Amino acid sequence: MVRENFEDQLYGLKEKVLDMSEMAKKAISNSLKALDQQDAELAQSVIDQDEQINAFEDEINDEAIWMIAKEQPVAKDLRRLVITLKATNDIERIADLGVNIAKSVQRIGNSSLPEEKQQILTTASVVDQMMDLVIDAYFKEDIETAFEIARIDDQVDQQYGASIENMLNHMTKHPDEISQITQLAFISRYLERAADHVTNIAEGILYLVKGKHVDLNS
């Protein structure tokens, strides 16, 4: 009965991690929608919702720490709670990056720059896919998907490099747009960092299953 109660609590905790990840995904997707549609009001809504995500992280962490103190889990059960703490931190950082993107969108204003924006939106769709995969892998404790996420992260790194090269070329040809291009470069960097945080969660899944640390960002 005690074991069943622990499993129920753990499942409830995982459900909260899923909810938090959806909030972080929405922060990223809405900030990029604001970029695509030049919607400063939508960008501001992303910024305004950040405190709610921070509070959710605190709630999950408090519950995980309480479970560790009360249940005194060992081995894999302890690792499950440890990676939950680490995952919520990475998810919160992803949401923060969504806020950073929203702030850059506000600074860009009504500049079009369609080619550069399209490169960013292409990368964003890959990061969104990574987030879906990592939460599914977290629930299923699926190491194959964790390794797949690392391979996708390499694609994001390549896309980031190509985007920055294109933006530098644009700056050379259009020095009057340096300010806007700089903000787009920041957005590209924020997405690349978001992908790294997703990969950190994948590393936690490998640690949970294998009991050892694996660096997927190297």
Per-residue pLDDT of 96-108, as tens digits, reads 999 999 999 999 9
The answer to whether the beta carbons of residues 30 and 42 sit under 8 Å apart is yes
pLDDT at 64 over 90: yes
Least confident of 15-19, 29-33, 63-67, 74-78: 74-78
> Which tokens go with 38?
């030049």
Q: For residues 58 and 1, which has the higher predicted lDDT (pLDDT)?
A: 58
For 136-148, the pLDDT digits (tens) are 999 999 999 999 9
- Of 130, 116, 67, 57, the C-alpha closest to 88 is 57
- Of 149, 135, 146, 134, the C-alpha closest to 14 is 135
As a whole number, mean pLDDT of residues 117-124 equals 94
At 112 the pLDDT is 78
Find the helix packing angle between 178-210 and 143-173, rounded to 10°.
Answer: 170
Distance of alpha carbon 134 from its chain centroid, rounded? Answer: 10
Indicate the average pLDDT of the chain. 94
Task: Please identify, in words, the CATH class of the domain defined by 2-210.
Answer: mainly alpha
What are the residue ranges spanned by the domains of the chain? 2-210
Residues with Cβ within 8 Å of 180's Cβ and at least 6 positions away in sequence, in order, are 108, 109, 111, 113
The DSSP secondary-structure symbol of 176 reads: G
Amino acid at residue number 30: N
Buried b or exposed e, range 81-92, using 16+ CB within 10 angstroms = bbbbeebbbbbb
Answer positive or negative: Cα dihedral of 74, 79, 80, 83: positive
Least confident of 186-195, 196-205, 206-215: 206-215
As a whole number, mean pLDDT of residues 44-68 equals 96
Q: What is the percent of the chain with per-residue pLDDT over 90, rounded to a whole number?
A: 85
Percent helix, percent strand, percent coil in the chain, to nearest 5: 90, 0, 10
- Of 198, 184, 109, the C-alpha closest to 151 is 198
> In the structure, what pLDDT confidence band is assigned to residue 218 with cuts at 50, 70 and 90?
low
Answer positive or negative: Cα dihedral of 168, 118, 93, 52: positive
Please state, in angstroms and rounded to a whole number, the distance separating the CA atoms of residues 106 and 31: 10
> In the structure, what pLDDT confidence band is assigned to residue 2 with cuts at 50, 70 and 90?
low
For 158-184, the pLDDT digits (tens) are 999 999 999 999 999 989 999 999 999
pLDDT at 1 over 50: no
